[in-house]
Structure formats: structure tokens, C-alpha cells
Amino acid sequence: MTATTIRHDWTLEETRALFLMPFSDLIFKAQAIHREHFDPNEVQVSTLLSIKTGACPEDCKYCPQSGHYNTGLEKEKLLEVDKVLAEARAARDKGASRFCMGAAWRSPTRKDMPYVVDMVRQVKSLGLETCMTLGMLEEEQAKELADAGLDYYNHNLDTSEKYYSHIITTRTYQDRLTSLSNVRKAGMKVCCGGIMGMGEDLDDRAGLLMQLASLPQHPESVPVNMLVKVAGTPMEDAEDLDPFDFVRTIAVARIMMPASHVRLSAGREDMNEQMQALCFLAGANSIFYGEKLLTTANPEADRDRELFRRLGIRPEQRETEHTEEEREAVLAREVEHERNRHLFYDASRQSA
Ligand code: SAM
Ligand code: DTB
Ligand code: SF4
């Protein structure tokens, strides 16, 4: 069987027509395309950590971390690298292949950069794939992160261009596209998707997927989030989206971006197992694993392990599986790095 061609020229009419297909036909089509590109019984597993929580200057109406709303969230400073490393090790030992670090920033400042660059280097040296989501990025910043070994950068478009101003006013759609382009220019992989259930209509869901599929290169990872309604945000009473419309969004994403990982992202805590199984059937092949997303709850790891067992799903192995020799080299690099860090800190203490 020849694999479906990767297209970048989907029209709104074509995308809308996919959304309007009879449900069974849509799922069948998505699953058939899924099987051309992926093992249908493998799901990629990432773990998330909030490295800087709350007090964000942006006004994203869905977000518990925006400083514009009172959500009762305890704000935190940028975590120390050692704490991040301990969490990354624990995630790796529980089976995550990618570690995603998120900060409640509009964009990283000049002062923040050396810290996050150090984090990338050290998390990477554990043999994990690395991902960060730090807000908007300048070209130079993207390059610095790429040079440190950052594999993925997450920056979502969130919704259609048409609906965007109902959700965020402190930065534009174009700002987001520019950051995405900077990430690509620096040679990193792109993780970009959106949120469903924010009061958008079918054309907005279609418009978002069309934007993503018309990027010069499809994002390697497409997170499809179901809105987590957090008390205190303007979206706390948003009307529930029909769960089948969420599944349809996953199926259409799979059809339009056949070679990308589609992530069943936020919102799983409020979904039953049958709904999650439908999402996998529609072509989702990535999840966040671990009890917490950034600030809100995610299913317990045990529950996910049990779900995978019941569905016969295996966690996807890291893209670059390490041989014993490579693992030793990674370990040696880690030890060397630790040693250098201590020498550096000892020296700076002596000169202080
Ligand atoms: N501040 C950075 C930014 O906005 O790019 C990074 C962190 S931000 C929390 C990452 C993404 O989380 C957002 O783009 C949004 O898609 C998702 N998100 C935030 N709050 C959410 C919620 N309540 N429900 C679902 N997704 C949410
Ligand atoms: C994405 O699309 N979803 C994740 C990740 N990228 C960074 C974040 C979801 C956050 C949900 C709300 C919270 O836990 O604060
Ligand atoms: Fe800030 Fe990101 Fe939340 Fe928007 S989504 S308020 S930029 S943390």
C-alpha cells in the first residue's frame, strides 16, 4: 500500500467536509491512514512539568496561570535545575520517553535563557527527548535552545485565526506563527495544536487544523486539548463540547497530518476509558502520562498503565533507542557534567 501523500493545500470546504462525514466512515478513514504511517498499538508517552508557575502577563481566557484571573494558584519561581532533573529521572524510570517543561511566560527573558539552556542539556543527558514551552521565541533564542539539544518546542495556535481574538488579546496569531517559524529555522521539531470546547464552532476547529496542515512542514506533534474548565478563568462555565465532536477533531487531524503524532492532550481526567479508546481508534497516538499536567490533574499513572494493558497498547520507544554503549556514554557525559558544575560552583564560591 502506498502511504497517503502529505498535503499542505487543504481548503476550508474540504476540511469541513471531513468533519461532516458520518462518524463511522470518518473513524474508518482515519484509522486506515493511521495504519499506513504508524503501529496502531503504540502510543508515545510524554511527561509534563511546570518549571515556572503562575503570574503570567498574558490573558489567555482558558489559562489558570494567567495573572489576569484569580484562580487561587500558588505562584512559583523558576525551579532549580536539580529539582527538574529529579522529576525527569522519575519520569524516565516510569517509562516516559519525552520530558516537556512548561513556563508561564510571555517569552523567556535574557536572564532566563542560561537556566533553561542548562536544563535542556542536563535533561537530555538522561537519555530523554526534550520539549519546552516557554511562550514566544526570537530567532536567536530558538537557536540557543536548539544548540543545547532541545528536540521539540511546543507553541500552540489554540484556535482558528477567526476566533482567536475572543480568547487572547495580549499577543496576535501572527506572533505565534512567527515563533513557530523561528523554531523551524533553528532546526527543532514543532509541537503545535489547540484547545477544543472554548465555545468555538465547527469552522473554527476546521480552521485551526487547516492552519496547522498548511504550515510549510507539518508539526511533528499535534496536541489536541479538551478545555479543562478552571474556576476563576473566564472559561469556567463554557458549554461542554459534544464528546463525538472532540473525537472527530482527532480523526480529522490524523487524516490531514498523517505522519504527525496526534496527542490526546489535556482533558483526559474528565474522559472515561471508552472515550479515550475512541480517540486512539481515531488516530491519537500520544498522551501525557503522570498525575499532573502543568497545574491541573491528569489520570494516575497506574490507571493509564491499566488502560494500556486492557487495550493492548505499548508505549512507543524513544525515537533513538540507546544501545548499552550509548547509555554508558550518556552516563559518562552526565557524570562529567556534574563534576564540571561542581568545579564551577566551587570556583565561583572561592572567588566570591
Ligand atoms: N506560556 C506558554 C505558552 O502559552 O505558549 C507555555 C505554557 S501554556 C500553559 C501551554 C498550552 O497549554 C497553551 O497553549 C494551551 O493550549 C494549553 N492550556 C492551558 N490551559 C489549558 C486549559 N485550561 N485547558 C486545556 N489546555 C490548556
Ligand atoms: C499542550 O498543548 N497541552 C499541555 C502542553 N501543551 C504544555 C498543557 C496543558 C495544560 C492544562 C492546564 C494546566 O494543567 O495548567
Ligand atoms: Fe501565560 Fe501560556 Fe497561560 Fe497564556 S497559556 S496565560 S501565555 S501560561
Q: Which of 53, 59, 65, 134 to mutate to test the pocket of ligand 3 (most atoms within 8 A of CB)?
A: 65
- Give the residue carrying C-alpha cell 482515519: 30
**Residue 77: how many other CB atoms lie within 10 Å:** 9
Query: What's the confidence (pLDDT) of residue 343?
Result: 45
- Nearest alpha-carbon partner for 60 in 137, 143, 170: 170
Contact of 105 with 265, CB cutoff 8 Å: no
Residue 133 in contact with ligand 2 by CB distance below 6 A: yes
- Nearest alpha-carbon partner for 280 in 302, 250, 252: 250
Query: What's the confidence (pLDDT) of residue 205?
Result: 98
The Cα–Cα gap between 326 and 319 comes to: 14
Residue 296 Cα to ligand 2 midpoint, Å, equals 8
Listed as ranges, residues in the chain with pLDDT below 50 are: 1, 321-324, 326-327, 329-352
The beta-carbon contacts of 307-314 under 8 Å, at least 24 apart in sequence, are 307/273, 307/276, 308/43, 310/273, 311/277, 311/280, 312/41, 313/41, 313/42, 313/43, 313/280, 314/41, 314/42, 314/43
Residue 51 in contact with ligand 1 by CB distance below 6 A: no
Residue with the smallest CA separation from ligand 1 atom 10 is 133
**Residue 335: how many other CB atoms lie within 10 Å:** 11
Residue 228 in contact with ligand 2 by CB distance below 6 A: yes
Q: Which of 61, 225, 264, 268 to mutate to test the pocket of ligand 1 (most atoms within 8 A of CB)?
A: 225
Contact of 213 with 256, CB cutoff 8 Å: yes
Query: What's the confidence (pLDDT) of residue 327?
Result: 44
- Nearest alpha-carbon partner for 106 in 160, 68, 143: 68
Query: What's the confidence (pLDDT) of residue 39?
Result: 95
Residue 308 Cα to ligand 1 midpoint, Å, equals 26
Helix H or strand E segment including 127 = none
Residue 158 in contact with ligand 1 by CB distance below 6 A: yes
Query: What's the confidence (pLDDT) of residue 3?
Result: 65
User: Which ligand 3 atom lies nearest to the CA of residue 104?
Assistant: 8
Residue 54 Cα to ligand 3 midpoint, Å, equals 9
Q: Which DSSP symbol is given to 229?
A: -
Q: 312: left (phi > 0), else alpha (psi -120 to 50), else beta?
A: left
The Cα–Cα gap between 43 and 286 comes to: 5
Annotated active-site positions, please? 56, 60, 63, 100, 131, 191, 263
Report how far apart, in Å, the C-alpha atoms of 46 and of each of 14, 146, 275, 314 are: 32, 19, 20, 14
User: Which ligand 2 atom lies nearest to the CA of residue 195?
Assistant: 2
pLDDT 10s digits, 162-194? 999 999 999 999 999 999 999 999 999 999 999
> Residue 349 burial (CB < 10 Å; 0-12/13-18/19+)?
exposed
Residue with the smallest CA separation from ligand 3 atom 2 is 104
Query: What's the confidence (pLDDT) of residue 2?
Result: 55
Query: What's the confidence (pLDDT) of residue 20?
Result: 98
Query: What's the confidence (pLDDT) of residue 92?
Result: 87
Residue 265 in contact with ligand 2 by CB distance below 6 A: yes
Residue with the smallest CA separation from ligand 1 atom 4 is 135
Whether the CA torsion 320, 323, 329, 331 is positive or negative: it is: positive
